[in-house]
Amino acid sequence: MNSILITGGNRGLGLGLVKTLIRQQSLQKTQIIATYRLPEKSEELLALAKQNANVFPVLTDLTNLERYEQLVNEVGSIVKDEGLNILFNNAGISPKSTRLSFTKADDLVDTFFTNTVAPIMLTKELLPLLKRAADRQPEAPLGPGRACVVNMSSILGSIAENREGGLYAYRSSKAALNAATKSMSLDLLQSGIMAVALHPGWVKTEMGGSKAPLSVDESCDAIVKTLLSLNESHNGGFFQYDGKMLPW
């Protein structure tokens, strides 16, 4: 694995993933590209980049689709001929609306845009770099040695596991992302690119709250382990941090 791009890499799970990747002895030469939107909320990521030559922060607002072409150029200038091995669509939002009576159309649309449209469109734009990485190892098995799209989903996007109701904006955006992930896994297979949806567990982040049972480090250590073990059998599936398969 020569390179990985993590969206929303300045805080929460995104920053946790950057830190876990830095700690991996086997990935000391892996380029870790992390997008961030607000410099004033990205001090830790920017400090990590100063200390680690393989960490590349890229300033971008993922809701601005017109910026994607420039983002792809920037990523291309980092990964060069090696291409991009892993696109980790991590950035997401979770509005506070809960029950149907309090659901707002704007929340539904904004959450869908950030959690579903942005990952789909970013994957589309980064396809040439993902294909380039996959083509470097044409005989290798599917996996992080070729190219993977990892979409950060949530157990809350599992329709089968929904026993609490509510959360229309968040749940529908993640179910939609899961649907897109399955289509990606079929559409991109012939290019040697696989796609999976990941649930990070219930994690102590701004989104998960302080009552969550998992620390960011625990979740990210397990996610990276799962990431490095991805193979053809995982393509198009929905897995939690530790590799356990989840129902749609």
The site for a second copy (CB under 8 A) is made up of 65, 99-101, 103, 105, 108-109, 112-113, 116-117, 120-121, 123-124, 127, 157-160, 162-168, 171-180, 182-188, 247-248
Question: Which residues are CB-neighbours of 120 under 8 A, at least 6 positions away?
Answer: 180
What is the phi/psi pair of residue 84, to 5°? -110, 120
Whichever of 75 and 167 has its CB closer to a second copy, that residue is 167
Q: Cβ 197 to a second copy, closest distance in Å?
A: 9
Q: Cβ 10 to a second copy, closest distance in Å?
A: 24
Q: Cβ 27 to a second copy, closest distance in Å?
A: 28
Q: Cβ 172 to a second copy, closest distance in Å?
A: 4
Q: Cβ 152 to a second copy, closest distance in Å?
A: 16
Whichever of 46 and 179 has its CB closer to a second copy, that residue is 179
Question: Which residues are CB-neighbours of 54 under 8 A, at least 6 positions away?
Answer: 22, 28, 29, 30, 31, 32
Question: Which residues are CB-neighbours of 127 under 8 A, at least 6 positions away?
Answer: 188, 191, 193
Counting beta carbons within 10 angstroms of the beta carbon of residue 69, is it exposed (0 to 12), middle (13 to 18) or buried (19 or more)?
Answer: exposed
Whichever of 138 and 247 has its CB closer to a second copy, that residue is 247
Whichever of 24 and 63 has its CB closer to a second copy, that residue is 63
Alpha helices (runs of H) in the chain, residue ranges in sequence order: 12-23, 43-51, 68-79, 105-112, 118-136, 168-187, 216-228
156 near 143, Cβ under 8 Å?
Answer: no
Q: How far from 128 is each of 1, 84, 235, CA to CA, in Å?
A: 17, 9, 20
Whichever of 13 and 167 has its CB closer to a second copy, that residue is 167
Whichever of 52 and 191 has its CB closer to a second copy, that residue is 191
If you ran DSSP here, which 8-state letter would residue 71 be given? Answer: H
The whole-angstrom separation of Cα 219 and Cα 90 is 13
Q: Cβ 9 to a second copy, closest distance in Å?
A: 22
